[in-house]
Structure 1
Amino acid sequence: MAGIIAKNREDRPYALTDGGGCSSNLSNKFKKRCLKNADRTFAQATQCQETNSIAALLSMEDAAFVVHAPNGCVGCVSFMNDNFKVGQFHRKIEKIRNARYIVTNVDEKDVVLGGEKKVKEAVLELENRYKPNIIFIFTSCASGIIGDDVDSVANIVQKEVNAIVVPIHCEGFKSRVPATGFDTVFKAIEKYIIKGEKPKKEKGLINVFATTSIGYKDQLEMENLLAVLGLHVNYIPFYSSVEKLKRIPAAEYSVAVCQVFADEFMEHLKEYYDIPYSKTGMPIGIRSTDEWFLSVARLVGKEDIALKYIEKEHERVLPQIAKIRDHIGGKRVFICAGTGRGIAAATLIEDFGMKLVGIQTPTYEEALIENFEQLEEIHGGDFIIDIANMQPFEQSNLVNKLKPELFIGMSTWVSKLGVPSTHILESKRPTFGYNGLLYLGRKIENAVENPSFNIKLAKHKKLPYKNSWYSENAFKYFKEVGNEE
């Protein structure tokens, strides 16, 4: 089992992290295996895998955390902590608390002399303050560059504390794909918590692997759908615990809420623990919700029950969708989101008669090619794909050229172009299933019909790019690997 998730995401066969162009052109080259990764000669504002590793575990009920990094590496934790506290409120937890973490604040002295002493002190302090069941140690670019041996520190300090001490190797420079941070978490869960143990199977138990951006309303929506099939849920790793993680091998089935979130870990569970799994896109929108629900139903042999439930739900929601479509049908949309959520958003807008003109996705790989082919069937093959880890300069260029009537995604940049925008990254409100569909539809309708904020913002705030940039090819700074230019 030492080989579980042994590679970074960009090292998967036929996995691209950089590139762009017309969808049909990209998919044709990909199928012929002649689509090469591009090398950016200029890059701007990328995300790292450490962020995702921290986010995946920060809400664990009985955990505490050491982030072995400079202070800047935990800047985003305040946002995660806000969601964590809101999630506690939604779960009716009476004493709402902050996440329990210490950052070692790696400085110039530590870079020269090493920071391992700080790591040990932080672990002992967490043990003394909180008496957690488990303490995770997150590495960073800085700790990796100076070569601090956090594994040895964990082994030494383990003898002095009751908590399980688990190092998470998530140095940002190790992978160009932030989602690799999720893989490092699953690898550590297997090595330090499950440890190859095979508990007795629990009848009807299904592991639901959920990304950290999914809120309690969506958790309940998934649990309600799965209850129709007679299943009960072990929801992980969000709001999990050591005991819940130990139950993973006891499940009869597994499913993820994103086609690439836990795919390799679910394959590992199938191979070593005899847990079959379903792998589909996020259950956002009619098409994707139907597919997600039916895929699990086929897994457990209850497709007939699922089809009857789907028919009933369609009768309930389709008339309401039609009313929304009357107001926003035909509008052109650009989408920027994580891989799974972006594809789900592109199928969602089909429900409202909207057309996809562009999508920015962190990866383009074998596991996704069927999804992009499906999008071509829905929207035609002429929409633009930007394969990018953020890169707002490319995004702004494309949005300015394509002139969509709605942008779906975090709109920090494009709002200043005057484009109406909204997002479906709603950890505080419903987005999944048939109920989430109606919420998102009304939210999109509101954004399209009330664009005044973005229009006024564009008059008073400008992006930091010269006007000449918008007339350039958005992919000007690509150099195809293996080609000389």
Structure 2
Amino acid sequence: MGIHRFKPTMSGRMGTLWTLASIRDAALIEYGCMGHMQYGRMFLNQAGISKRCKLYSTHIDETDISLGDTNRLNRAIAQIVERDKPKIIFLLPSSVPTVIGTDLMAICEELQPQYPNVRLLPFGYGGFDICGHGGVQEALLLLSKTLPKDIQKTQEPTFNIIGSCADLFRFHADAQEMIRIMKGAFGMKKLCVMTSDTCVKEIEDMGGAHINLVIRREGEPAAKQLKKRFKTPYLLARPYGMEETLGWIDKIAQMCGLTPDNSFIKLEKEKIMSQISPAILIFEHIIREHPDEARLSLGGHADVVKGILSYAEKELSLMRGVCWCDCPSMTSEEIPYFSEDEWIQAIKAHKNGLLMASGEALKWAKGNIDLQISNPDIKWRLNLYESPFMGFRGAVNLVSLWLNGILEQIDD
């Protein structure tokens, strides 16, 4: 691991941990060095994930490493089964067991007959060579392969959300807005929010849904797996702004053969336009008189950056500033990956306009903390009912943030 001025980028191990840690009725054992889980638990508490999956770390010492002794892990599993009685135990390696080649899959196969009522499920990606988003993708895929049971479709149309995980900023609010829209537009109920608000049984019942709503590219392999097994169609999209949200609803209607509730959609459109119309007039004035202040720079998850930028440019005519993503495997000509040094230089070079990035970057740049769209965070997020960024209500929230942010810069 190199030297970082700020928090290092999320590793595959952390991506897996943050994906699994929100699942209720489960336990997770990290087989690794002392202290790893403590830092992970602190982030999860800060992000609003607490008292979900039972989190444990075994610790390993020189004897375990030199002799390949895994009895410590065996004892931990036995104690957790007896005390917590989880439905499933996830096993996650840290960097040292990964480097020395500890085979968690073989260990689970050997121990599984001793625990007929508890499933042992090993995960990989414990090393530093896998980025955090790779860990999220592997965790979502493995869950979708192993946990869902053979089940009939629900009588009334239902849906799953795939990819709502603790590493995304404001994940609770965005998922709740999608649930609200699906109920209002189609009368559809959710089966599973994978994984920020779910339990083992809800994942087991995912095959009963009529559509899977995938909100990040890392969730697409899981959706493909569920489509192959249960014939469930999926839609990969993060709807930002009114037009994108209306298009998202239309696609769902076509895929499910449903007719949206026009009264709900009409009311939502009227409410949005009544709220943002005055701001649009001010934006038009600012773009003419203060064009540099109407420039929007973004840094974070590639799907988040792309979606918010599209809304700002297409519906509000704000101008694009410097944009980057936080994962090298997601780099593209439109949204390149920036290392720590690169995004520091990019922020230094663009003094004017709005900056939406991680809380850590905004604090360092002395920017507007209210414009945070990604992690690392600098605050505790205990309020599960904050305003979303996606959907109808997210459209109004973003306009409010942008308008106030621009006016504050002009006043300064």
Q: Same fold by TM (over 0.5)? A: yes
TM-aligned CA deviation for residue 410 of structure 1: 0.8
Q: Residue 321 of structure 1: SS of its match in structure 2? A: helix
Higher deviation after alignment, 57-66 or 443-452: 443-452
Question: How many angstroms does 1:224 deviate by?
Answer: 2.2
Alignment-derived partner of residue 377 in structure 2: none
Partner of 2:94: 140
Q: Does 1:442 align with 2:385?
A: no
Partner of 2:152: 200
Paired AA for residue 78 in structure 1: M
Secondary structure of the structure 2 residue equivalent to 1:179:
helix
Deviation at 1:353, TM superposition (A): 3.9
Which whole-Å CA distance do the structure 2 matches of 1:448 and 1:118 have between them? Answer: 57
Counterpart check, 1:424 vs 2:379: no
Pairing partner for 2:346 from 395, 398, 403: 398
Residue of structure 2 in register with 1:288 after alignment? 244
Residue aligned with 2:164, SS:
coil
Q: d(CA) in 1 for partners of 2:268 and 2:153?
A: 32
Q: Which runs of 5+ in 1 are unaligned?
A: 1-40, 87-96, 373-384, 456-485
**Residue number in structure 2 paired with 1:244:** 202
* Corresponding residue for residue 347 of structure 1: 310
Equivalent of residue 105 in structure 2, options 113, 129, 151: 151
Query: CA 1:317 to 1:190, structure 2 compared with 1: closer, same or farther past 3 Å?
Result: closer
Q: What is the Cα deviation at residue 199 of structure 1?
A: 1.4
Match of 1:61 among 11, 15, 24: 24
Partners of 2:93 and 2:126 within 8 A in 1 = yes
Residue 322 of structure 1 and its aligned partner are, at CA, apart by 2.7
Give the TM-score normalised by structure 1. 0.70
* Whole-angstrom distance in 1 between the partners of 2:355 and 2:69: 44
Q: Is 1:56–1:182's contact at 8 Å kept on the other side of the alignment?
A: yes
Residue type of the alignment partner of 1:322: S
Aligned amino acid, residue 207 of structure 1: N
Structure-to-structure mapping, 1:279-318, within 5 angstroms: 279-280=236-237, 282-302=238-258, 305=260, 309-318=264-273
For 1:19, the equivalent position in structure 2 comes to none
Partner of 2:336: 386
**CA, structure 1 residues 256+307, in 2 after alignment: closer, same or farther (shift >3 Å)?**
farther
Which amino acid in 2 is paired with 1:424?
I
Go from structure 1 to structure 2 and tell me whether the alpha carbon gap of 1:225 and 1:416 turns closer, same or farther (over 3 Å shift): closer
1:270 aligns with 2:224: no
Q: Distance in 1 between matches of 2:278 and 2:299?
A: 26
**What is the rounded CA distance, in whole Å, between the counterparts of 1:42 and 1:144 in structure 2?**
22
Residue 121 of structure 1 deviates from its aligned partner by: 2.1
> Is 1:73–2:22 an aligned residue pair?
no
| Inter-partner Cα distance in structure 2 for 1:283 and 1:291 | 8
Unaligned runs of 5+ residues in structure 2 are 288-293, 375-380
SS at match of 2:138: helix
Indicate the residue corresponding to 2:121 in structure 1.
166
Instruction: Work out the CA distance in 1 between the residues paired with 2:405 and 2:19.
Output: 30
Structure 1 pair 199–99 and aligned structure 2 pair: CA distance change class (3 A): closer
Q: In structure 1, what is the Cα distance between the partners aligned to 2:407 and 2:83?
A: 51
Out of 58-67 and 120-129, give the one that drifted further: 120-129
User: 2:60 matched to which residue of 1?
Assistant: 106
Correspondent of 1:52 among 8, 15, 18: 15
Q: Does 1:83 align with 2:44?
A: no
Cα gap change, 1:286 to 1:170, in 2 (>3 Å): same
Equivalent residues of 2:145, 2:225 under 8 A apart:
no
Amino acid at match of 2:18: A
Aligned equivalent of 2:300, options 300, 323, 337? 337
Aligned-residue sequence identity (percent) comes to 18
How far the C-alpha of 1:57 sits from its partner, in A, is: 1.6
Residue 209 of structure 1: how far off its partner (Å): 0.9
Deviation at 1:80, TM superposition (A): 1.1
Residue 309 of structure 1 deviates from its aligned partner by: 4.2
Partner SS for 1:254:
strand
Secondary structure at 2:81 match in 1: helix
After superposition, the Cα gap between the structure-2 partners of 1:287 and 1:387, relative to the gap in structure 1 and judged at 3 Å, is farther
Give the alignment partner of residue 209 of structure 1, picking from 147, 157, 162.
162
Residues in 1 aligned to 2:69 and 2:367: alpha-carbon distance in whole angstroms: 47
Q: Secondary structure at the match of 1:233?
A: strand
| Gap change, CA 1:172 and 1:339, over 3 Å in 2 | farther
Change (3 A) 1:365 1:178: closer
Q: Does the C-alpha gap of structure 1 residues 84 and 135 become closer, same or farther in structure 2, counting only changes over 3 Å?
A: farther
In the TM superposition, what is the alpha-carbon distance from 1:396 to its structure 2 partner?
1.0
Higher-RCO chain (CA-CA 8 Å, sequence separation at least 6)? 1
- Residues 81 and 99 of structure 1 are in contact (CA less than 8 Å); yes or no, is this contact kept in structure 2? no
Contact 1:424 1:440 in 2 (8 A): no
| Structure-2 separation of matches of 1:98 and 1:267 | 27
RMSD in angstroms over aligned alpha carbons? Answer: 3.1
State the alpha-carbon separation in 1 of the partners of residues 17 and 233 from structure 2. 28
How far apart, CA to CA, are the structure 2 residues paired with 1:188 and 1:240? 16
Closer/same/farther in 2, CA of residues 113 and 191 from structure 1, 3 Å limit: farther
Q: 1:342 to 1:76 in 2, by over 3 A?
A: farther
Structure 2 counterpart of 1:67, one-letter code = E
Deviation at 1:100, TM superposition (A): 1.6
Q: Distance in 1 between matches of 2:136 and 2:145?
A: 15
TM-superposed deviation, 1:268:
2.1
Task: State the aligned residue count.
Answer: 381
Rounded Cα–Cα distance in structure 2 between residues aligned with 1:352 and 1:167: 47
Q: Alpha-carbon deviations, 1:288-328, whole Å to 9, x = none?
A: 322322221221123x5266644432221123223334555
CA drift at 1:278? 1.3
Question: For 2:188 and 2:362, how far apart are their aligned partners in 1?
Answer: 42
One-letter identity of the residue aligned with 1:341: V
1:358 to 2:322 alignment: yes
Give the counterpart letter for 1:241 in structure 2: C
Alpha-carbon deviations, 1:220-246, whole Å to 9, x = none? 321222122232212222222221111
Out of 178, 181, 185, the position equivalent to 1:222 is: 178
